[in-house]
Structure 1
């Protein structure tokens, strides 16, 4: 992987070209004045593995009264 330094002004005017270089594996350092301020690097493509149905079967539990109404003191804030 090679590295290319460009000024902020160059980066603003040629971002599409710089992104093409990044896609080809080049690393771009953007400088402001004489100091580096940002780095453009490529990212690995996201892996889209198919989901397996039932993979977590039996790992979650839900109470029998899950859908039952909550008591009034829950809504009114009374009691502890």
Structure 2
């Protein structure tokens, strides 16, 4: 990670943009304190290259659960999970 002052960033913005496009994160400081970070925009070539090969391996996760005797059925969250509760349920006193 590269750190530059605000004055340097103003003067060398094009060079910093090139570095960020290559995947580098640049921290811009004012009076020695971090003010902002320059990071690659989503969809840049550097970010796409970094994301390739990453992610959740769902099949491996299911295989791990099965090896531990945990079997999940499809749709483990109910379809009406976020539906409003019925009024009679809401008005019923607590036990």
Runs of 4+ in structure 1 displaced over 3 angstroms?
Answer: none
From 31, 35, 38, the counterpart of 2:29: 31
**Structure with max Cα Rg:** 1
| Structure in which a larger fraction of residues adopt helix | 2
Q: CA deviation digits over 1:8-39, x for unaligned, max 9?
A: 00000000000000000000000000100010
Q: Gaps spanning 5+ residues in structure 2: where?
A: 45-95
Number of residues of Structure 1 aligned to a counterpart in Structure 2: 44
2:11 alignment counterpart? 13
Q: How does 1:43-62 map to 2 (within 5 A)?
A: 43-45=41-43
Q: Gaps spanning 5+ residues in structure 1: where?
A: 47-80
- Relative contact order (alpha carbons < 8 A, sep ≥ 6): 1 or 2 greater? 1
